[in-house]
Amino acid sequence: MINHEKLLNFPIPEVRQRVRPQDAVFYALSVGMGQDPMDTRQLPYITTQKGPVVMPAMAVVLGHPGFWLGNPETGVDAVRLVHGEQRITLHRPLPADGEVIGRTRVTGIVDKGEGKGALLYSEKEITDAATGELLAVTGSTTFLRADGGFGGPSGPVIPPNPMPEGAPDIVLDLPTRPEQAFYYRLNGDDNPLHTDPEVAARAGFPRPILHGLCTLGVVTHAILRELCDYRAEALKGLSLRFSSPVYPGETIRAEIWRSGAFRARVVERDVVVVNNGAAVLA
């Protein structure tokens, strides 16, 4: 069972990471860029000859502490947790060559009650190791499906972004690949839920699911393409809620409003997988 104070103050290791141009290229490829070899606008993200330009969504893997909730000392049922929400705020362009420091901490835990799970809020600050400048802040909500009823607080809960009425202005289909989770995990997210069928079955899924943050990367690609003309500096942040898992190999359909609101669904099952999305544009 969760010990509220212990988890709230859990010592998540600081991560110092050397970032190389090939890391930025690999991240972009791992979330599906480069599948259209004739789209030259993507080349700055996926080649070192014309860049690379770092995808803003790479903030979620820079200075990433790994699957720290898998540590038994947390008291969490690590097999049954899922990524619930993600937030990114960009203060400066992310470096393609340099060193960064990621400092992650738990900022809140909400007990939804016995049998209803719990919400764990965490935040990561990414700074330039050489200058100390703040590059980005990312925030995550992890849904601890099996850990409710430990006697913790019932709030506050971060409210979701409102969605506009009416049809989206833009619809874009982006495919994922059957082996995409095996690529994406090399960014530092090695939760076996995404690669091991036995672990997926214990978590209640028929097969391994795609990382939620990989889905975020695919949707960020759609935002960059449709609202930013592939200009990374035009995207200052985004936030979204994961509403259902994606299985590797499925097609993600991004539904985007010019206001910056968005959601996404899986074409093959017509299931909304990302909801309450909001992009902050320059």
Q: Active-site positions? A: 189, 194, 209, 212
Amino acid identity, residue 132? G
Token pair, residue 60, equals 């979620």
Region of residue 112 (phi > 0: left; psi between -120 and 50: alpha; otherwise: beta)? alpha
Q: CB neighbours of 78 closer than 8 A, spacing ≥ 6? A: 67, 69, 70
Token pair, residue 5, equals 């104070």
Q: Is the peptide bond before 52 cis (omega within 30 degrees of 0)?
A: yes
Q: Which among 279, 274, 239, 259 has a CA at the least distance from the CA of 169?
A: 259
